[in-house]
Structure formats: structure tokens, C-alpha cells
Amino acid sequence: MFKFPEHQIAGHLALGGKLGPQIDESGRFCKPLQEDERGSREVAFYEALYSTSKVKKQILRFFPVFYGTHIIEASDGSGLHPHLVLQDVVSDYIKPCIMDIKIGSRTWYPQASEDYVAKCLRKDRGTTSLSLGFRISGLQIYQGKKSGYWKPDRKQIQKFTADDVRSVLRKFVSSNQLGDSDHKPDSTPACYMYGGFSGIYQQLLELKSWFEEQTDFHFNSCSILLIYDGESEKNGGNPQSTIKLIDFAHVFDGNNVIDHNFLGGLSSLIKFISDASATQLSKPKWLDAPAA
Ligand SMILES: Nc1ncnc2c1ncn2[C@@H]1O[C@H](COP(=O)(O)OP(=O)(O)OP(=O)(O)O)[C@@H](O)[C@H]1O
Ligand SMILES: O=P(O)(O)O[C@@H]1[C@@H](O)[C@H](OP(=O)(O)O)[C@@H](OP(=O)(O)O)[C@H](O)[C@H]1OP(=O)(O)O
């Protein structure tokens, strides 16, 4: 039984009778193949990723597991349609807090048409892509039982300035995240999410060291998802924060050249995250102390 992914925060949505992703109860995320070259490029990328022995397991864990393609009923009622079958990367989280960050100061690619380049350039200039090397495409933050999720709409997110991005990154890990902009986020638990040996910050550094070497792929217009569990954090449990790369419709052969666009954007994001968590990148001892 397929349903609309309630925790989808960006991209094409199946809402309102449109063609979009669907999930099942076994933890699969089925993304419809776009009928133009974007669909075939994304499949080709996943096949290449898993067939090349060059990509180590340590790096593969930053991608959703790929289960091939499957023909299922499309969400728009148009009948059978091929879908990418992926791991639903948020299905294990009770209250997933998610941020979709599109990496790169340019989202167009050299092979694209003039119209497409112009469309991307407009967006890159109109958002923080050009100035910061990345932009936030979507987010949701769990604020507790009473308030539920803070999930700003697409239009609001597209207007984020560099200062908004700074503040949202802090808010993402704050203990009193409120949608209300007058409220100063308290980023006390930043050390849980961003820092620590296996936190988001360390994972991003690991990913960066791969990008400093890999020349097989150029990741145009891809996103990194930052994910943690808002519920287990509140209960003081293991936060299981993670990063996942997604959206490979514009990935091309790297032709033995470093992907400077992605690497630059990723380095900038790391700097912003490091600033957001300020001096709290390593877990202080008092956090390990048993409750009195
Ligand atoms: N494997 C996955 N598991 C869970 N959620 C996912 C997964 N892949 C994507 N998503 C959700 O769907 C959103 C959009 O994903 P994606 O960018 O792949 O779609 P798209 O329609 O190609 O986007 P765009 O229109 O930006 O090109 C993500 O922000 C995330 O919320
Ligand atoms: O509609 P398309 O052709 O699939 O292009 C989408 C585009 O509509 C979407 O913009 P928006 O609807 O969110 O404003 C782009 O997302 P961003 O806002 O993150 O730029 C998608 O990236 C476009 O898809 P693509 O990248 O394949 O051209």
C-alpha cells in the first residue's frame, strides 16, 4: 500500500493529484522517473554508483540504498509509471527534523540549454546559492507535542538571506525552536547534532574528503539532507543524526576533474555549520553524566 510521504520537504509533490513520490510501509521511497533525460540520468547514476568498486562502503552510506526501478501506479492517476525504488531515509525517525540543502554556487551545468542555464542563474542569483555556495530548499523542525513541526513554505524559504540561513541552521538544532522569528534560538544541543565523533559535522567532513579526491561524477544541483530525530533528542536518547545525498537528475561524468562547484559549496556549508555550533563541537563531559 503506497501513500504520500508526509515528511517530504522539497521537490515535486504527489499532492493535489500530481506526479510525485510515494512511500510504502517497508521503508521504500518510490520516486517517479521523470520522462525526459532527467529520469534516465538519475537511474544511470545510481547504477554507476553501485557498480564502481571505487566508491567505498564508508561513502555509500551517505546515499539512499538503491533497490532498482519498479513500475507502479502513478500518484496522478495516469496509470503505470516507472519509479526509482530507494530507501526511505527518514522512515526510522519518530519525529524527523530534516533540512534539504542544494549544494553549489551554480546549479546549471555546461551541457544544459541556454534557457535552462538562464532559469538556474536567476534562481542562483536570487537565493544564497551564489553568495554562500548553497541554498536551503526545504526544512521541517519538530518543536514538541503542542506546536508540532515548523515547516516554512517554499516561497518563504526561497527568500532566505545569508543571515536567515545562519539563524535557521542554529534553530535546526536548538532546544526552543519556534517558527516565530522574534524568538532567539538557543543552540545548546548543537553538540549532539552537529558535533561529536559521528555527528553531522564529522560526516560532512568525511564527505568532503571524498570530494577532494573523487573525479568520477559531477553533482550538479544535488542536495544534502541533514536529518535527526526530534523525539529521541527530547527524550535524551541517541540522536542518530545523519546526512544523505539525494537528487541525481543532473549528475554527469566527472572526466577526471574535481567537482569544484560541489566541493566549494560543501566547504562553505561546513563552515556555516561549524559557526552555528560555535564552540560546542565536541560533546562536553557533563552531557554524559547520569541523571540525578
Ligand atoms: N530517499 C529518500 N527518502 C526520504 N525522503 C526523500 C528521499 N529522497 C528524496 N526525499 C524527499 O523528497 C524531497 C525531494 O527530493 P528530490 O530532490 O530527489 O526530488 P525532485 O522532485 O527531483 O526535486 P527537484 O524538483 O528539486 O529537482 C527531499 O527534499 C526529501 O524531503
Ligand atoms: O518544474 P521542473 O522543470 O521540474 O523544474 C524544477 C523547478 O520547478 C523547481 O523549482 P520550484 O518549483 O521549487 O520553484 C526546482 O527546484 P528549486 O526551487 O530547488 O530550484 C527544481 O530544481 C527544478 O527541477 P530541475 O532541477 O530538474 O530543473
Which numbered atom of ligand 1 lies nearest the CA of 87?
1
pLDDT tens, residue by residue, 72-100: 999 999 999 999 999 999 999 999 999 99
Quick one: which ligand is closest to 126's CA?
2
Which residues touch 32 (CB under 8 Å, ≥6 apart)? 12, 19, 20, 21, 39, 74, 75, 81, 82, 83, 84
Residue 286 has what pLDDT? Answer: 39
Residue 64 has what pLDDT? Answer: 98
Q: Where are the alpha helices (DSSP H) in 52-189?
A: 57-60, 114-126, 129-132, 154-158, 162-172
Residue 277 has what pLDDT? Answer: 79
C-alpha separations of 214 from 25, 62, 106 in Å = 35, 15, 19
Residue 285 has what pLDDT? Answer: 44
List pocket residues of ligand 1, CB cut-off 6 Å: 8-12, 21, 29, 31, 64, 86-90, 100, 138, 223, 246-247, 249
pLDDT tens, residue by residue, 161-206: 999 999 999 998 774 444 444 445 544 455 556 665 568 999 999 9
Which numbered atom of ligand 2 lies nearest the CA of 38?
27
Residue 54 has what pLDDT? Answer: 81
* Whole-number Å distance between alpha carbons of 169 and 181: 13
- Tell me the CA–centroid distance for residue 120 and ligand 2, in Å: 9
| pLDDT for 234 beyond 90 | no
Which numbered atom of ligand 1 lies nearest the CA of 248?
18
Q: Integer distance in angstroms from the first to the last C-alpha of the chain?
A: 46
Domains of the chain: 2-56+64-87 (no CATH), 96-286 (3.30.470.160)
- Tell me the CA–centroid distance for residue 104 and ligand 2, in Å: 15
For the chain, the average pLDDT equals: 88
Per-residue confidence at 276, pLDDT binned at 50, 70, 90?
confident
* Whole-number Å distance between alpha carbons of 193 and 173: 7
